[in-house]
Amino acid sequence: MIREFIRIVLTVTFIFSFVENLSAKTGEAGNIQIIHAGALLAVPGKGPMANASVIVEAGKVAEVRAGFVSASDISSDKNQTVEIIDLRDSFVLPGLMDMHTHVTFEFSRDQQLRNVTVSDEDVTIDGVVFARRTLMAGFTTVRNVGAPPAAIFALRDAIAKGKVPGPRIIAAGGGVSPTGGHGDINGYRDDIFPEPSHSGICNGADDCRRAVRVLAKGGADVIKFVATGGVLSNTAAGTGQQFTDAEMVALIETAHALGRKVAAHAHGVDGINAALRAGVDSIEHGTYLDKESIRLFRKTGAYYVPTISAGVTVAEWAEIEGYLPPSMRDKARRIGPIVHATFARAYKGGVKIAFGTDSGVSKHGLNAREFLFMVEAGMPEEEAIKSATINTAILLGRADQLGTIEPGKVADIIATKQSPIDDIRQLQKVTFVMKDGVVYQAAGE
């Protein structure tokens, strides 16, 4: 753990020195950074402007001005440090946000064994590595919807305090699932995983209120539940509705009463529509959504979090002999090939879309591949960027702080060499990352 920590500190220190020590004093009151942007997409959806300056003070955006302003234009105070960050050759945009990650974990073919050999401490360290990778890929905020609660809360808090580099984490802790459902730990002797396998397992409306309250008490920022079966659970339970309507209503009401939004994992249309009727804030995956789902999405204002990357990844695994147990392989074969079409249907239907990948199924750091899948399925480039900035900020209830480069917002700013509006693949090659006014990556290092 110490070795890993030192490596991270050294890496970050190296990056700081690489950008002329400009980060050493960031985040402190009285220090100003001026980003000179060759192109600036301050508000995705409103188009980029050429040659602009972003003035950052104490980790927040203070001002956006046309042209390249100099230090003396900003301050005559000799005690104030003004640093210029030269991105005149780059395209600058708000930090990206992923609404569906599992940052403490990457699925592998020995997953069933790892479930009983890996400790929460191991998982936490993995999270430190994957969180850094995610940040360096340009993702400054993630919503993590499933991890051992103690591990993800420790990681979230350590990142927030600046102890380790990573994206701002909005954490669900564990997921809420019925016994034998997608979020249970299936396929083991009951002396290894006794029932209930974790505190998020609940059956019946009252018991589900308890499960939500326990998660909130433990530090969950958001509640995730499994409305339907899922691909990567070792059970032949299909992908239809798993919680009853009454259980869904109870757990969503309870979460809302405790000030938490609710994300529902859902593939089958019965579970998607039941969760929407019960007042869920977002549907994750949404594989078999239909006309009625689209009507409900539009009526309730819920977001759809597509996770096309997960469908593409499991479809690849299904073709590798022995990679997945038979129950997972069957589900992967059915769901993988149809996720692009689901996305196209939802987008054309006018459903609000918030970017999400299910990274942990796909590899961490490849989150931006999702943009390519979205564009391939018919979404214009700038709208895809909006889905990962403005839309995600609204879904999190943090549009006053995140999602655009405007005065008063947190200084989460990234850059690419070429315009991602011309070529969306540019987002897979982020060359500059600032979070809370701290530079984590510059010059593509």
User: Minimum distance from CB of 118 to Zn ion (Å)?
Assistant: 18
**What distance in Å separates the CA atoms of residue 71 and residue 168, rounded to the nearest whole number?**
30
Closer to Zn ion by CB, 358 or 412: give it: 358
CB of 405 to Zn ion, least distance (A): 29
Helix, strand, or coil here: 109? coil
Letter string b/e over residues 34-60, b meaning 16 or more CB atoms within 10 A of that residue's CB: bbbbbbbbbbbeeebeeebbbbbbebb
How would you classify the pairing of strands 81-94 and 413-416? Answer: antiparallel
- Closest to Zn ion by CB, 57 or 358: 358
Residue 100 Cβ vs Zn ion, minimum distance, rounded to whole Å: 6
- Decide whether 305 or 318 has the Cβ nearer to Zn ion: 305
Rounded to an integer, what distance in angstroms lies between the CA atom of residue 219 and that of residue 272? 27
Question: Between residues 23 and 233, which has the closer beta carbon with respect to Zn ion?
Answer: 233
> Closest approach of Cβ 345 to Zn ion, in Å?
21
Closest by CA to 30, choosing from 437, 441, 440, is 437
Residue 237 or 414 having the CB closest to Zn ion: 237
Coil, strand or helix: which one is 383? Answer: helix
Strands 303-305 and 282-285: parallel
State the nearest-atom distance from the C-beta of 31 to Zn ion, in Å: 39
Comparing CB distances to Zn ion, the nearer of 247 and 358 is: 358
Contacts 24+ apart (CB under 8 A), 3-12: 4/125, 4/128, 4/129, 5/128, 5/164, 8/128, 8/132, 8/164, 8/165, 12/165, 12/440
Q: What is each CA distance from 315 to 240, 335, 368, in whole angstroms? A: 19, 8, 19
Local structure of 280: helix, strand or coil: coil
Between 20 and 316, name the residue whose CB sits nearer to Zn ion: 316
Least separation in angstroms between residue 285's CB and Zn ion is 8
CB of 358 to Zn ion, least distance (A): 4
229 HSE (CA, 13 A, CB side) = 18
Residue nearest Zn ion, CB atom distance: 358
| Residue 335 to residue 322: CA distance in whole angstroms | 18
Rounded to whole angstroms, what are the CA distances from 216 to 117, 199, 204?
A: 28, 12, 19
Nearest-angstrom CA–CA distance, 124 and 115? 14
DSSP percent split of the chain into helix, strand, coil, nearest 5: 35, 20, 40
- Distance in Å, CB of 418 to Zn ion, minimum: 31
Q: Of 358 and 436, which has the nearer Cβ to Zn ion?
A: 358
Binding site for Zn ion (CB under 5 A): 358
Closer CB to Zn ion, 166 or 311, in the complex: 311
The number of CA neighbours under 13 Å toward the Cβ of 267 is 21
Minimum separation from the CB atom of position 307 to Zn ion (A)? 7
